[in-house]
Amino acid sequence: MDDPETERGFDSRIIAGISTPSMVAQVLDLEVPPDRELVLCERTSTIALQRQVRQNFAEGRFECEGGPRRFDDIGRLMFVPAMTPLRIKYEGRNISIVRCMFPKETFDETIASEGAVATKQLRNCLNIKSAPIRSLMMSVAREIENKARFTDELVECYGQILTIELKRYFDLCAADGGISRGGMSTGALRKVIERIEADTIPPSLEELAALTGLSKRHLTRSFRQSTGQTILEKINESRFNRANLAIAHGEKNLSEVARMSGYDSLAAFSQAYKKWFGKSPTKYSMP
């Protein structure tokens, strides 16, 4: 999204950024008007991860020869190959993202350019189901927001690892004929995500199973097929993003944040929070 044309329809604000030999990484906020349809055409190969508490539901379709004809759901993590137009239908919700942009030639030999394989690979671009890639993107965001000694060198290493993980991911897509098979229906998946992201105590597996009418076993398996995450990983992602937001805004004290996150004690919350973010919640609550 380094091309000004791609920002049309968005109001964007770059929060933090860094440029290394392998990539450009940025954290930014986007204001998306409701029910907007637009076409993005990136000069660089770009991977982007939504970081806000509530997912912005959207659909996308690559508009190129051999590309998929129907619109597919866009997940929290997506990849846009360089110079490949992507039409997106947004519902409209402000988005906080971390994005990493690579030179076009980085993935020229990785993404198939024609035929059935290309169609399946492009569809998989819209919902990257990879825990290692998601974790790397979160690490990039934390590092460039909290710049410290050796940040440039560390982000450069993250960029090189991201390149390898993305190439492995698309090699798997090609070898497996596309890895987006199975999973939940769009309606059921949306119910689960919206309940997990609601401003209440995190749900139990039993509650989510009842909500979707699925058995707990079917629910856990199909959710992971659809998102690349376990339900527990998704719950933790949502609860800690919400907790971090509350701490940063000073809306509640740490004990209140712990309770709203589903923890009986501040000590248990602090331990889990530090494991997730790499820093204790008191670090974020300081002026």
CA distance 260 to 252: 10
**Which CATH number among 2.60.120.10, 3.40.50.300, 3.40.640.10, 3.40.50.720 corresponds to the domain 4-175?**
2.60.120.10
User: In which band, very low, low, confident or very high, does the pLDDT at 86 lie, cut at 50, 70 and 90?
Assistant: very high
What's the rounded mean pLDDT across residues 71-99?
90
CA distance 265 to 251: 19
**Domain locations in the chain?**
4-175, 186-285
Q: In the prediction, which pLDDT does 283 show?
A: 55
What's the rounded mean pLDDT across residues 251-279?
86
Q: Is 197 exposed, middle or buried (0-12, 13-18, 19+ CB in 10 A)?
A: buried
Dihedral sign (CA 285, 142, 24, 110): negative
Q: In the prediction, which pLDDT does 69 show?
A: 77
Q: In the prediction, which pLDDT does 244 show?
A: 84
User: In which band, very low, low, confident or very high, does the pLDDT at 285 lie, cut at 50, 70 and 90?
Assistant: very low
pLDDT at 5 over 50: no
pLDDT at 166 over 90: yes
What's the rounded mean pLDDT across residues 180-192?
81
Report percent pLDDT > 90 for the chain.
45
Q: In the prediction, which pLDDT does 68 show?
A: 66
Query: Structure tokens of 199?
Result: 């401003």
CATH number of the 186-285 domain: 1.10.10.60
CA distance 140 to 145: 9
Dihedral sign (CA 17, 74, 52, 233): negative
Could you write out the DSSP letters of every residue in 40-99?
A: E--SSEEEEEE-SSS---EEEEE-STT--SS-EEE-SEEEE-TT--EEEEE----EEEEE
Q: Which is higher by pLDDT, 287 or 268? A: 268
First to last CA, the chain: 33
Dihedral sign (CA 4, 9, 13, 16): negative
Chain centroid to Cα 10, Å, comes to 18
What's the rounded mean pLDDT across residues 45-67?
88
Report percent pLDDT > 70 for the chain.
88
pLDDT at 121 over 90: no
User: In which band, very low, low, confident or very high, does the pLDDT at 64 lie, cut at 50, 70 and 90?
Assistant: confident
Chain centroid to Cα 222, Å, comes to 19
What's the rounded mean pLDDT across residues 13-40?
90
What 8-state DSSP symbol labels residue 13?
E
CA distance 49 to 241: 13
pLDDT at 217 over 90: yes
Q: In the prediction, which pLDDT does 286 show?
A: 37
What's the rounded mean pLDDT across residues 172-183?
65
Calculate the average pLDDT of the chain: 85
Question: Which of these ranges, 103-117, 159-173, 254-268, 273-287, has the smallest mean pLDDT?
Answer: 273-287
Question: Which of these ranges, 171-180, 194-203, 208-217, 236-245, has the smallest mean pLDDT?
Answer: 171-180
